[in-house]
Chains A and B, each alone.
Chain A
Amino acid sequence: MRKVLGKLHMYLGLFCASYLIVFGLTSLNFNHHFAFFEPNNDKVTWEKSITVADNADDLKLAESIRDALGLMGWAPPWRYRHDEQNSFSFDIYRPAKTYAVKVNPERTRVQVEETRLGFMAAYKSLHAVERIPNSILVKVWPVYTEVCMFFVLFAVASGIYFWARSRESKLLGWILLLGGSGGSILFMLFIWLRG
């Protein structure tokens, strides 16, 4: 039993090590805004001819243009703009890239300004990326993060089990467990009830 748990702890731990580092670094970045996580700002402009039906519904229009361009990402409604000539502009957001899209009044030609945010922007997005429109491969990542989430719960339980079964003195362990983890629980309760 102990041997099987030990192997599981180790192999799953090695499999999840990468996510633990992603989670640790990106979480630290929430508090400290590290310079190395700052996105690049490399801009590339390109044009493409498309065929989309004009649509009074801006959301449907934006999504059909995005699909015609073969891009993945969200096209949030608060970024929709129409100018006097009825050109339609919107933005597409996704990890590591943003697109500023402008389609002509005839809805036949699109000008796109692509901003490439770089490797660290992609890495940062892995903290909690879930679904992205038009992306199939991204569905793999939430499965991995879920496995890692359950691994952490398992690792905590199995780690405490190994420690409890070890022959070494447990005084320091009890102090750390009760002082650190027990204290943390009390602090969470305090923040919740009186914070």
Chain B
Amino acid sequence: MKNAIQKIHLCSALVITSYLVMYFFSGFVLVHEDLFPNKDPEKTVVTEKLSYDGVDTPEAWSAYIQDKFNIHGKRQPVRELKDGSLRINFFHPGYGTEALVAPDRQSVQITTTAGHFRYLMVGFHRTHVYGAGPLYDFWCFLYDLASASCIVFALTGILIWYTARQRDPWGWPCLLSGFGLTLMMCLYFMYMP
């Protein structure tokens, strides 16, 4: 039994190691933004003519613009602005593209933003939610796998220690202090004014 648990602990770690490190490191970058230089992202702006005669829905426009101008990235929800223009955003870690379709739908202004290291890390950390095509769905699947593996590491690690707890009695204070702190924070948020 213990061997099987150890195998699960090890194998899940070997599979998901780099993804997990990326999440924890990019989380560190998010929290400690001041440690990482904030260079202005590089922007390029181009204006192109349009001749679209397809379905006039925000989703159709988004797909058309992405396809026609070979824009990479995950499609974001389209916003119709007060003047009638459409703002369509595409995002992938390190890059952002905004397409502003004119109210008469005859032209589009495309602004591409290429960010630096911090922008890339934040992008990696915050790319989630299924439904943006197979590539990003696979990204989300790995994200889920890394998240689930955190739970697996914790539970299998506790089980491995528990089977030999007589040899390592200091495990109790370590385990209880972590869970105790978590519970205390929850109660603090719930009951303190």
Contact = CB atoms under 8 A, between A and B. Distances in A.
Which label, helix, strand, loop or mixed, suits the secondary structure of the A interface? helix
B147 A181 contact: no
B139 A17 contact: no
A18 B179 contact: yes
B1 interface: no
Given A24-B149, A194-B72, A71 B193 contact: yes
B104 to A, nearest CB: 32
B14 A15 contact: no
B185 A195 contact: no
A160 B20 CA distance: 14
Contact of A94 (B93, B161, B171, B189): B189
Q: Chain B interface: which size bin? A: 35 or more
B93 A195 contact: yes
Given A21-B150, A28-B144, A195-B92, A152 B22 contact: no
A156 interface: yes
B147 A122 contact: no
A142 to B, nearest CB: 7
A36 B170 CA distance: 34
Contacts of B175: 14-15, 17
In this complex, the member of B72, B138, B149, B154 whose beta carbon has the largest number of chain A beta carbons within 10 angstroms is B154
A149 interface: yes
B46 interface: no
Given A130-B31, A191-B135, A184 B192 contact: no
A10 interface: yes
Nearest to A121: B189
A140 B180 CA distance: 13
Contacts of B14: 160, 163, 173, 176-177, 180-181
B157 interface: yes
A68 to B, nearest CB: 12
Contact of A192 (B23, B94, B185): B94
Given A72-B193, A130-B31, A191-B135, A31 B128 contact: yes
Contacts of B88: none
B61 interface: no
Nearest to B90: A195
Given A14-B157, A153-B24, A156-B17, 9 more contacts: A10-B160, A14-B158, A69-B193, A152-B24, A163-B14, A172-B11, A176-B15, A181-B14, A184-B18
23 contacts: A7-B168, A14-B178, A17-B154, A17-B157, A20-B150, A27-B23, A31-B129, A130-B31, A137-B192, A146-B28, A149-B25, A155-B153, A160-B14, A173-B14, A176-B11, A176-B15, A180-B17, A181-B16, A181-B17, A181-B18, A182-B18, A184-B142, A191-B139
Ordered nearest first, which 4 A-B pairs have the shortest CB separation? A180-B15, A24-B150, A195-B92, A27-B147
Interface of B: 10-11, 13-25, 27-28, 30-31, 72-74, 92-94, 120, 124, 127-130, 135-136, 138-140, 142-144, 146-151, 153-155, 157-158, 160-161, 168, 170-171, 174-175, 177-179, 181-182, 185-190, 192-193
